[in-house]
Structure 1
Amino acid sequence: MWNGIDLVLPPACAGCGMAGLRWCSDCQMRVDVIRGPVCEICGLPQNSSGICSFCQKEKPAYRALRSWSVFADPVQEALHRLKYRRDMALGDSLAAQMADFLFGLQWPIDIMIPVPLGKDRLRERGYNQAGLIARPLAMAAGLEYVPQGLTRQRETRSQVGLTQKERRENVRGAFMASAGRVEGRTVLLMDDVATTGSTLSSSAEALYSSGAKEVYALTVARALSQHGLVNV
């Protein structure tokens, strides 16, 4: 999708900035892919299979969440460049890296929906970083891409630095789904980083309320200190 831009502005590695490739071989080797065992529900890496203590205490609304990588460099640097430095071509690069991971999950997905930004933040940034990853990933997986399937009906505070409880309260009731687009369908929610999973769970609640058959969630990265304060 971005080949024309790359001809004018030669690409640099998302992780280290080396000119010539979106992902250099060294950075590809440094990606800390999450391979398990993980919590069967939230995908949190743990020592054995099963359901983690957090999900036993309070089960998320989504059926399952998985993340491709630990939120650490080079993926952390790539996501910050995509999100804050307008390096929008990285959406395609990250989607290409994640395609095999998604195929391996073998989830029975009908449609893919990115977690939406609020109107103010979308106007300020100019794009939804989750959508820049979700669209090419949906295309690679042969899934229908439905960005209008979920909207943020009120502005929320940034989740950066909030505790698990604060994050959950911050996004409670923040989303609204389109019944005409999601009713009876199995949805894959896409976001950049999972921290506590509160945003994804609140999004899933809205989708189920509008008739979604099942909701799965996928993120590029997972912040492993997710139950404390995290700068993501």
Structure 2
Amino acid sequence: MMGLRRMAQCLGLLERRCAHCLAPFEARRDEAFCPACQPQLAPYTGAACPRCGLPVPPGDAADAPSVPCGRCGEAPPPWTDFLSYGLYTGALRDCLLRLKFSGELWLAGPLGSLMARRLQELRPNLIPPDVVLAVPQHPAHLRERGYNQAHELAAALCRELRLPLTRRLLRRVRRVLPQAGLDAAQRQANVRDSFAALPAGLAGARCWLVDDVLTTGSTARAACHALLAAGAARVDMLVLARTPLR
């Protein structure tokens, strides 16, 4: 007698398309990526700055666990803890670009799940936060694009971890130039005073701030400063991808 799994195979019920390459593959558990793409989407486990996730050059790898990068050493970021899933390269970058610019919002689910699982692996005894927020877009930018990819990722992360997501405690109050193409100093000046946070709901709160990509960290720093100024006790920064600066 044909087994249930074999019957499902024959009926095509186990077939799923990979979220990255879109090739069909036999579904196992809740996998979103095919066996060929999974290694390309594995988390970054190399040496990195403990404060911002910047990959450490091979010659400096021995110092990575405790020594921050040059920028974080000179100007420590305002967040307490930092976690990034992977580097903004290859398959992870491809998926993020599709989510961000092609409107493929369904990708937020599998990408957010990657973040959640990595967080559970690296912080198994982590105390849940009081507030989870995504780095917001300016209302005009949000109207143009129709969605905020950071919010979509944060929503997927919260679904996986069974946490509520807060929307209105952090706002963009000034529209800025696109950060792409700006150097670190220009990025910092571009986002200065561009966020405002509401004290109600933040006083003494432990917050997670979620974003899709961290490059120089200027946007994340500005948003984090706004939360702390509104009374948050601490902010932990969670990003899907870290740009490996040249």
In the superposition, the TM-score normalised over structure 2's length comes to 0.82
Specify the alignment match of 2:43 in structure 1.
33
**SS at 1:26 equivalent:** coil
Q: Deviations over 1:206-232 (max 9, x none)?
A: 00000001001111101101xx6xxxx
Distance, in Å, in 2 between the alignment partners of 1:151 and 1:37 is: 34
Contact 2:85–2:114 under 8 Å retained in 1: no
The structure with the larger Rg is 2
Structure 1: how far apart are the matches of 2:117 and 2:65? 22
Deviation at 1:58, TM superposition (A): 1.1
Question: Aligned-pair distance for 1:136?
Answer: 2.0
> What is the aligned partner in structure 2 of residue 78 from structure 1?
95
| 2:106 pairs with 1:89 | yes
CA contact (8 A) 2:80 2:236 kept: yes
Structure 2 counterparts to residues 104-123 of structure 1, below 5 A: 104-106=121-123, 107-108=126-127, 109-123=129-143
Instruction: Using the TM superposition, name which of 55-64 and 195-204 deviates more.
Output: 55-64
Is the 1:110–1:143 contact (alpha carbons within 8 Å) kept by the matching residues of 2?
no
5+ unaligned residues in a row in structure 1: which ranges? Answer: 1-9
Q: Tell me if the contact between 1:14 and 1:77 (Cα under 8 Å) persists in the aligned partners.
A: no
| TM-score normalised by L of structure 1 | 0.87
Q: Paired residue for 1:53?
A: 70
Gaps of 5+ in 2: 1-14
The residue type paired with residue 23 of structure 2 is M
User: What residue is the counterpart of 2:183 in the other structure?
Assistant: 163
Paired AA for residue 120 in structure 1: A
- The answer as to 2:22 corresponding to 1:17 is yes
Structure 2 residue matching 1:99: 3-state secondary structure: helix
SS of 1:221's partner is strand
Q: Do the aligned partners of 2:130 and 2:205 also contact (CA within 8 Å) in 1?
A: yes
Q: Is the 8 A contact 1:15 1:74 kept in 2?
A: yes
Higher mean alpha-carbon deviation, 149-158 vs 49-58, is at: 49-58
Look up the SS of the partner of 2:147 in the other structure. Answer: coil
The structural deviation recorded for 1:14 is 3.4
User: Following TM superposition, by how much is the alpha carbon of 1:72 offset from its aligned partner in structure 2, in angstroms?
Assistant: 1.0
RMSD: 1.8
Report the counterpart of residue 69 of structure 1 in structure 2: 86
Given that residues 150 and 177 in structure 1 are in contact (C-alpha distance below 8 angstroms), is that contact kept between their aligned partners in structure 2? yes
Q: Secondary structure at the match of 1:25?
A: coil
Identity of aligned residues (%): 33
Is the Cα–Cα contact under 8 Å of residues 14 and 81 in structure 1 kept in the other structure? no
Give distance in 2, aligned partners of 1:110 and 1:156.
Answer: 29
2:122 aligned with 1:102, yes or no? no
Q: Distance in 2 between matches of 1:171 and 1:105?
A: 30
Which one-letter code corresponds to 1:111 in the other structure? V
> Would you say the 8 A contact 1:15–1:73 is kept in 2?
no
- Give the Å deviation of 1:36: 4.1
Partner AA of 1:130 in structure 2: A
Aligned residues: 217
On the 8 A contact 1:187/1:216 being kept in 2, the answer is yes
The letter of the residue matching 2:21 is: C
1:19 Cα deviation after fit = 4.5
Return 169-178 or 47-56, whichever deviates more.
47-56
State how far apart, in whole Å, the 2-side matches of 1:25 and 1:11 are.
12
